């Protein structure tokens, strides 16, 4: 067996070039011209190929290292007979060969007439792209060599990556290091504590990534005057006992959403394969529950068949089951739309992320007093901030605006009539 050292070639005027990817691992069998690492400067990125074939014995570099000409990349173990058949090349000759490869690559980039320097590989299967685009692909955990490029010569841009992500079926990322790349050791700056990600967040995290990257989100913000509704809610008293009835604003909001879904069925559907749309004849509304274990989104089934008092009771029951981890997992599926309410905590507008396969989610902030002019008089009114995120493939802006207006009418001064309280 023979050992061969693979070194950083001559890179011209560049010094302290950062390694952004290590493309092989120890024990891997590689061939001549297989890519070993990716280097990135301010102007371009390039993959360094192997000048020999063999088995990787030891890798001497890692992501984030800054290297120069002659630095050791890795050691190869080659079969003795194979080595004897090949020309015995000295380290100086290796450097000269690699320098020639880089010169040829540089000449190709000059001839390309591209305004942005290309990211190219010295192997045949690698796509051309700018450093910014390549970084964008890495952040999404995508291999840029698999993405079809729309520019000349198959060059990949950001739109190509976005299009590719939208057309790919969702799978668990195999290499989470591409997403959670540690740029430095946090311990260098002080004491740290390392914990495992909670189980609920491990489950919901990939779903959130899928939703944010695959669905074209648009968020409509609005304010609803709930002055009369709040006065009514605070005055509810049991007819027989004389005790005050406690019904949260979320129960009224849920009832209003039911009415809006019945008026605008595009919000109660799911997109399917082959451009099919599944319109749901049922109304199951999900709502976000803040628990010590993480955020959960159970569904209330057949909410259109409940009155506001029953909705309030069901909200409390399901929330309690989530906090006690007694909720059946099937209750997290099959929803029409989701409501995420931060009213009990604070805040106004935000951008809630759609819970696929649903096509919309309603975010609710904390109500506040607002001075406004009503019927020619300046008055203080109780306003409710809402944020409606929707899938633009199914719902357009005009329909979303009408949905919000409908909610405002259902929760406004005529709420008792609209909601049949």
Answer yes or no: do 409 and 345 share one domain.
yes
The pLDDT tens digits for 376-390 are 889 999 999 999 999
338 pLDDT above the threshold of 60: yes
195 pLDDT above the threshold of 80: yes
Q: Is residue 48 very low, low, confident or very high in pLDDT (cuts 50, 70, 90)?
A: confident
Answer yes or no: do 116 and 158 share one domain.
no
CATH code of residue 44: 2.40.50.100
Question: CA–CA separation, 207 vs 197, rounded Å?
Answer: 15
392 noted as active-site residue: yes
Greater model confidence, 97 or 193 = 193
Answer yes or no: do 171 and 230 share one domain.
no
Q: Which of 44-53, 61-70, 297-306, 365-374 has the lowest mean pLDDT?
A: 44-53
The secondary structure of 110-177 as a DSSP string is HHT--SS--BEESSTTPPPB-HHHHHHHHHTT--GGGSPP-SGGG-B-HHHHHHHHHHSPP---S-GG
Point out the catalytic residue in the list 217, 221, 293, 392.
392
Greater model confidence, 165 or 160 = 160
Domain of 78 in residue numbering reads as 2-120
Q: Kindly state the percentage of the chain with pLDDT values over 90.
A: 39
Answer yes or no: do 352 and 250 share one domain.
yes
Angle at which helix 158-167 crosses helix 199-214, to 10 degrees, equals 120
Residue where one domain finishes, among candidates 143, 165, 194: 194
Question: CA–CA separation, 120 vs 49, rounded Å?
Answer: 12
Does 186 reside within a domain? yes
CATH code of residue 181: 4.10.320.10
What pLDDT shows up at residue 399? 96
Residues 347, 355 contacting (CB under 8 angstroms): no
């Amino acid at each position: 067996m023979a050992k061969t050292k693979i070194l950083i070639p001559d890179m011209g005027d560049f010094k302290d070039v950062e390694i952004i990817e290590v493309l092989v691992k120890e024990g891997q069998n590689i061939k001549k011209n297989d890519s070993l690492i990716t280097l990135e400067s301010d102007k371009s990125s390039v993959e360094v190929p192997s000048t020999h074939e063999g088995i990787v014995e030891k890798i001497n570099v890692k992501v984030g290292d800054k290297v120069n000409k002659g630095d050791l990349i890795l050691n190869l173990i080659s079969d003795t007979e194979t080595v004897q058949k090949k020309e015995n090349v000295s380290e100086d000759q290796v450097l000269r060969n690699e320098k020639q490869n880089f010169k040829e690559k540089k000449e190709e980039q000059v001839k390309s007439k591209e305004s942005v320097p290309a990211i190219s590989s010295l192997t045949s299967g690698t796509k051309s792209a700018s450093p910014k685009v390549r970084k964008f692909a890495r952040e999404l955990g995508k291999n840029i060599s698999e993405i079809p490029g729309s520019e000349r010569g198959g060059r990949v841009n950001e739109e190509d990556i976005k299009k590719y992500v939208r057309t790919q079926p969702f799978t668990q990322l195999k290499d989470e290091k591409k997403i959670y790349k540690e740029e430095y050791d946090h311990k260098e700056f002080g004491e740290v504590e390392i914990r495992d990600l909670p189980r609920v967040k491990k489950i919901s995290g990939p779903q959130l990534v899928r939703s944010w990257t695959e669905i074209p989100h648009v968020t409509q913000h609005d304010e609803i005057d709930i002055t009369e509704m709040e006065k009514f809610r605070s005055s509810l008293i049991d007819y027989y006992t004389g005790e005050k009835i406690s019904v949260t604003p979320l129960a009224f909001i849920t009832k209003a959403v039911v009415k809006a879904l019945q008026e605008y069925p595009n919000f109660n559907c799911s997109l399917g394969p082959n451009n099919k749309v599944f319109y749901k004849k049922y109304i199951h509304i999900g709502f976000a529950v803040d628990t010590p274990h993480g955020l959960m989104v159970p569904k209330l089934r057949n909410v259109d068949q409940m009155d506001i008092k029953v909705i309030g009771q069901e909200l409390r029951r399901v929330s309690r089951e989530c906090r006690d981890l007694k909720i059946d997992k099937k209750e997290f599926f099959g929803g029409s739309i989701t409501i995420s309410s931060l009213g009990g905590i604070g805040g106004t507008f935000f951008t809630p992320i759609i819970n696929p396969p649903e096509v919309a989610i309603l975010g609710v902030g904390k109500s506040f007093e607002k001075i406004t002019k009503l019927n020619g008089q300046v008055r203080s009114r109780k306003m409710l901030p809402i944020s409606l995120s929707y899938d633009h493939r199914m719902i357009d802006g005009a329909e979303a605006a009408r949905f919000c207006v409908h909610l405002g009418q259902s929760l406004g001064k005529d709420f008792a009539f609209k909601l049949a309280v």
